[in-house]
Structure 1
Amino acid sequence: MPDTLTRAAVAAMVDHTLLKPEATPADVAALIAEAAELGVYAVCVSPSMLPLRAGAQKVAVVAGFPSGKHHSLVKGSEARLAEQQGADEVDMVIDVGAAVAGDFNAVLADILTVRGGLADATVLKVILETAALGDEAIVECCLAAERAGADFVKTSTGFHPAGGATTSAVRLMAQTVGGRLGIKASGGIRTADAAREMIESGATRLGLSGTRAVLDGFPD
């Protein structure tokens, strides 16, 4: 990890995100324009906003969002439709209750259903909602995501009352599957210092809604 992270290097790790239920097509158009200006990696939107053109940026969408309590077949269908409409990446929410109950076979089956409906080239990120889970459950969910063929594990939706990303959760995820899966920290990251701490803890992707404010804290 370099002593100084540059603005451009951090931008290249960012999913510039707009998932508010009141978001309009005009809001998404503004998000895409800002993403191009900031040089971020991807935009992340709700699947109902597809299809869209994002220029040089990748397009990520969510599935089973934000509760994760959708039937696995519904999540799989939602993800597959998004892919057909141009999504490059899918961020799916697991059944958090299954993880809390220790039913990691159900978590595995849920992820397998979504992964099985997507092309190999489509990136699958698995949202664990880590603030609602203990350490053992986080580890088991990371391992389930790896076994199911996911590409990333992700901390949070940003909508759960228990909170968003923490450095301790990111560090545990990185210790469990880092180097094999990507680690996305998302939820409540609003400053450059917070982003830097997530990266230093092992995050390889950041989900940000206030991207400009975070990037402004890094040197050119």
Structure 2
Amino acid sequence: MSLPSTISIETLTPEAVAKTIDHALLKPDMTIAEVLEGCRLCAKYQTASVCVKPCDVKYAAAELEGTGVDVGTVIGFPHGNSPTNVKVCEALTAIDDGAVELDMVINIGHLKSGQLDEVRNEIRELTAAAKAKLPSCCVKVIFECSLLTDEEKITACKLSEEARADYVKTSTGFSTGGATIADLKLMRANTNPNTTHVKASGGIRTLDFLIECLQAGADRIGASATTAIVDEMRARKAAASTSQ
């Protein structure tokens, strides 16, 4: 479902809002029963995807088969410190288990160390391996913007784009900060909108902030407050309809 050219409460629908959301089920203590409950919520609201821990991909894929909701997972999460071959292995295993979207954490320390060729090559190698196995696989690169300077964020955008990743993403939601409007605008300004999408993630708990993120250039939203966000959209639409 494509978004309207002008993003606002008036132009959006509850269905369109839901289709921007990657529903996050990533808490370390989350049980399989809670994961399955979250998957059923995704099917009910028809989110874009569910994003689960790698160990839960097979459960999510089985639960969501035929629902139209994609299954995603995280790679090198949450710190990005695994060697490249481990990240690639994790990605290919996730695809075998049923994932079609992969959110990989950039090697933050090596980016900050100026090891740019290494960082670019890691993203490129993982993206190429994933798409060789599953051509439709969507690869998103998580920056952890709260730990980076603006110059480093811009560099990460360029490296991700050169490596042919599908998305650049603000945050894991497990560090010192989440999505900010300033970061989203910076990421959108430093990537080609025809080839590279932007995902906002971390601290997005309200409809108003979700809409701000979309207005700032985000194409996809990582959130766990899906019920509250979509239900608020439905309530506002209903109120607007009765007032006319």
TM-score by length of 2: 0.86
**Structure 1 residue 101 and structure 2 residue 108: aligned?**
no
Partner of 2:221: 206
Amino acid at match of 1:115: T
1:32-43 → structure 2 map (5 Å cutoff): 32-43=39-50
CA spacing shift, 1:106–1:31, aligned 2, 3 Å: same
Q: Secondary structure at the match of 1:15?
A: strand
Deviations 1:192-217 (A, max 9, x none): 11111100000000000111112223
* 2:98 paired residue number: 86
- Gaps of at least 5 residues in structure 2 are 1-5, 238-244
CA distance in 2, matches of 1:178, 1:113: 21
Offset at 1:130?
A: 0.9
Where does structure 1 differ by over 3 angstroms across 4 or more consecutive aligned residues?
Answer: none
More helix per residue: 2
CA distance in 2, matches of 1:160, 1:10: 26
Three-state SS of the structure 2 residue aligned to 1:165 is coil
1:137 and 2:144 aligned: no
The alignment status of 1:167 with 2:145, answered yes or no, reads: no
Shift of 1:178: 4.3
* Worse overlay, 112-121 or 33-42: 112-121
Partners of 2:205 and 2:112 in 1: CA distance: 28
2:78 equivalent among 54, 58, 66:
66
**Structure 2 partner of 1:13:** 20
TM-score (norm 1): 0.95
Aligned-pair RMSD on alpha carbons?
1.2
Amino acid at match of 1:217: E
Q: Distance in 1 between matches of 2:145 and 2:119?
A: 14
In the alignment, is the contact (CA less than 8 A) between 2:153 and 2:187 conserved in 1? yes
* Largest Rg, 1 or 2: 2
Sequence identity of aligned pairs in percent?
38
